[in-house]
Amino acid sequence: MNADSTCLGYDHLTRRTLMRGAGAAGLSWLTPLADLLAVEAEKSPSGKPAKSLILLWLGGAASQLDTFDPHPATKIGGGVKTIGTAIKGVQFAAGLEQTASVMGDVSVIRSMVSREGDHERAFYNIKTGYRPDPTLIHPSIGAVLCHELPETPVEIPTHVSILPNQWPARGGYLGAKFDAFQVYDPRGSIPDVRARVADERMEKRLESLEVVERAFAAGRAASLDTQKTLHRLSIERARRMMTSEQLKAFDVSLAPAAERNAYGDTPFGRGCLAALRLIQTGVRCVEVTLSGWDTHANNLEGQAAQVKILDAAYASLIRDLKRHGLLESTIVLCGGEFGRTPKINALEGRDHWPHAFSMLVAGGGFAGGRVMGATDPQGEKKEPEKPVYVEDLHATVLDLLGIDYLKEMMTPIGRPMALSKGDVVQELTS
């Protein structure tokens, strides 16, 4: 972790601790200016905390050398061709022309570092900001967001995963109710959320369920006589969702044809369009997965095929968020669980490389048009310039959301656990 980020994290903690300490000591003499400083200490560097988050997971691990950090005409280049971007002097791999054009609103981190090189463990790390622990399941960043931010008047789930792989986002020690609601290709209405019987018959079933619920509560603690059980609350939430007009946000077939075509006629493209529609509805966190980047063989061709799918969908999402006035309040992250090796193997593929990979960050207080860090064009040095660790990215995102990333939560086994153990990367936000 670099010295600059450590100092900045300490400064953030010191200001916040000072203001909280003043309140705890009962210092009623705080002036209006001091009150204002206390509020400012809790804000993100942008002064306008983000409200929502979109995560685009490049499942299987995209090659940084064939996407956002190419080194053409070098021994590690692998034959990649490059194009210019909206950031002067910065190149991307050919095939990312649309993404290159929106880079004025996007920054690229070329120095992401993970300590996990196995797919399952690395996905856990990138989603939670923690390495796997056999004694505890950490919540994904989307679950933390939904737990910490105020509830919104939304009748559909506020934490959504589109095209999930085998390692979905979970609520962890925050509880299963913060697990991501999983859906697949949003080309039409969501299956299995509408009642399979007529409304009248459904009402009779609910009346019968109420009889069972009352019998369950009878004779138990007094609180059960006056408060609803978790089961009843779950039923009511499900019922509201089943009858909600907001479910239409999942169905991209309702969007204009021109809008659908701009994202590309692919499940991932439709997932990104659905993410836009869900954020417009008030959903807090949407993740969309594009699997297929695990190119241990035929890397150049495999990465190029995935780049083609990613390019139109990503650029259209950024453009539309900006057009609808949502980019300022919506963070968009795009990247995989790690990168791929500088060395090309005997099968013309690249293997796992957690030491230095790339991530695109945009919106919600992230600066646009910047490049963070650099990798060795000869592939001999593992450590990149200005490394950004996974936990630092988590701390930065939570801070931009106005969430106290140092806050300690008490786990079910009585173990205090900070939401993040990283430091804010101020260079990406100011």
Q: What is the DSSP letter of 374?
A: B
Q: Are 399 and 384 in contact (CB under 8 A)?
A: no
154 and 205 inside one domain: no
368 and 403 inside one domain: yes
Using the 3D structure, point to which of 245, 268, 291 is the last residue of a domain.
245
> What span, in angstroms and rounded, lies between the C-alpha atoms of 268 and 270?
5
Q: What is the pLDDT of residue 152?
A: 87
Residue with tokens 């791929």, as numbered in its chain: 340
Q: Which two tokens stand for residue 164?
A: 């999930």
101 and 229 inside one domain: no
Q: Could you give the number of structural domains in the chain?
A: 2
> What span, in angstroms and rounded, lies between the C-alpha atoms of 294 and 302?
8
The residues near 361 (Cβ < 8 Å, ≥ 6 apart) are 106, 107, 108, 109, 331, 332, 333, 334, 393, 428
Using the 3D structure, point to which of 202, 218, 245 is the last residue of a domain.
245
> What span, in angstroms and rounded, lies between the C-alpha atoms of 74 and 355?
19
202 and 261 inside one domain: no
Q: Are 163 and 288 in contact (CB under 8 A)?
A: yes
121 and 177 inside one domain: yes
Q: Is residue 25 part of a domain?
A: no
Q: Is residue 265 part of a domain?
A: yes
> What span, in angstroms and rounded, lies between the C-alpha atoms of 332 and 106?
9
Domain with residue 264: its CATH number is 3.40.720.10
201 and 338 inside one domain: no
> What span, in angstroms and rounded, lies between the C-alpha atoms of 381 and 370?
23
177 and 303 inside one domain: yes
> What span, in angstroms and rounded, lies between the C-alpha atoms of 190 and 142?
21
Residues lower than pLDDT 50 in the chain: 1-46, 224-226
96 and 159 inside one domain: yes
Q: Is residue 298 part of a domain?
A: yes
User: Could you tell me the residue range of the domain that residue 381 belongs to?
Assistant: 3-18+32-188+251-428
Q: Which two tokens stand for residue 43?
A: 């804000």
Q: Is residue 26 part of a domain?
A: no
Q: Are 359 and 112 in contact (CB under 8 A)?
A: yes
Q: What is the pLDDT of residue 153?
A: 87
**DSSP per position, 53-70:** EEEEE-TT---GGGTTS-
Q: What is the pLDDT of residue 235?
A: 58
Residues β-bridged to residue 108:
360, 371
Q: Is residue 350 part of a domain?
A: yes
313 and 224 inside one domain: no
Q: Residue 181 in 3-state DSSP?
A: strand
124 and 160 inside one domain: yes
230 and 256 inside one domain: no
> What span, in angstroms and rounded, lies between the C-alpha atoms of 327 and 276?
10
What's the pTM value of the predicted model, to 2 decimals? 0.83
154 and 282 inside one domain: yes
Q: Is residue 55 part of a domain?
A: yes
Q: Are 273 and 265 in contact (CB under 8 A)?
A: no
Using the 3D structure, point to which of 215, 245, 275 is the last residue of a domain.
245
Q: What is the pLDDT of residue 7?
A: 36
Q: Is residue 27 part of a domain?
A: no
Q: Which two tokens stand for residue 269?
A: 């493209």
Q: Is residue 39 part of a domain?
A: yes
Residue with tokens 């609803």, as numbered in its chain: 228
